[in-house]
Amino acid sequence: MIKKRLNIRMSGLGGQGAVTAAHVMAMAANKDGKFSISNPFFGAEKRMAPAESYCRIGIERIYDRGELVFPDVIEVFHPQVITMGKSYTMPFYSGIKEGGVVIINSGQPLLSEEDVQRLKDLNVATFYIAGTELAIEIAGTELSTNMTMIGSVAGITKCVSMEALDSALQERFGKKFVASGGTASLDEAIKKKFAKKEMLLAKNLATVKRAYEIASEWAEKNKVELRVGNPAVAA
């Protein structure tokens, strides 16, 4: 499926870097010559509280930046979004468009039979990835879990290239970037984890790349296609 715009909702818990993930995706899209907007949904700004961020990527200028009610892709950063209902929408996949994709950070299935059937009726594909475990294995810290989520959505949708993601990460973590609130605290925690910025960038990029490869293989195997482009030209 080719769409002029891809709407991504990132649902997680405070301190997981969902805001950073949306921002990096938007930066990468710009570097690929696409239009993009990212914005957070502010609730209680503390660890383990429900958190959301949105990323819109398209081939035409984007003006709306409010809450993303009808996403094409939903990323679940933490199992508790599903198992404990820590989501601003109930069920967590509320509003997802037909033919969309749900990406869940978990090494095992979490959805009930009823939810599985509802998503199947909407022709929504569900991709599970053990993102936190992958982040610990490659980057050595769960703080890089958001890097696996970035790689997953990019690998499935190809909405941004790996080259653009590399450049966006360089800009986000390699230069002086001004963040605020919980996002700034998380950025500092990540930077302190690594002795040098070069090491931080290398580990983050390696995590993104591995998740991208895993997600790409899954999408190809399951014939899942959700791209940003011109539908008329594609036809």
Q: 3-state SS string over the chain?
A: CEECEEEEEEEEECCCCHHHHHHHHHHHHHHCCCEEEEEEECCCCCCCCEEEEEEEEECCCCCCCCCCCCCCEEEECCCHHHHCCCCCCCCCCCCCCCCCEEEEECCCCCCCHHHHHHHHHCCCEEEEECHHHHHHHHHCCHHHHHHHHHHHHHHHHCCCCHHHHHHHHHHHHHCCCCCCHHHHHHHHHHHHHCCCHHHHHHHHHHHHHHHHHHHHHHHHHCCCCCEECCHHHHC
CATH code of the domain covering residue 78: 3.40.920.10
6 vs 67, which has greater pLDDT?
6
Q: Is residue 88 part of a domain?
A: yes
Say how many domains are in the chain. 1
Whether 172 is covered by a domain: the verdict is yes
Rounded mean pLDDT, 180-191: 51
Structural domain includes residue 233 = no
- Domain contains 9: yes
pLDDT category, 177, cuts 50, 70, 90? very low
Q: Provide mean pLDDT across the span 78-83.
A: 93
Look at residue 234 and tell me if it is in a domain: no
Q: What is the mean pLDDT of residues 186-191?
A: 53
Give domain status of residue 235, yes or no.
no
pLDDT at 44 over 90: no
Q: Which of the four pLDDT bands, split at 50, 70 and 90, describes residue 152? A: very high
Range of the domain at 213: 2-228
* Mean local confidence (pLDDT), 36-55: 80
Does any domain span residue 133? yes
Model pTM score = 0.88
Instruction: Give domain status of residue 16, yes or no.
Output: yes
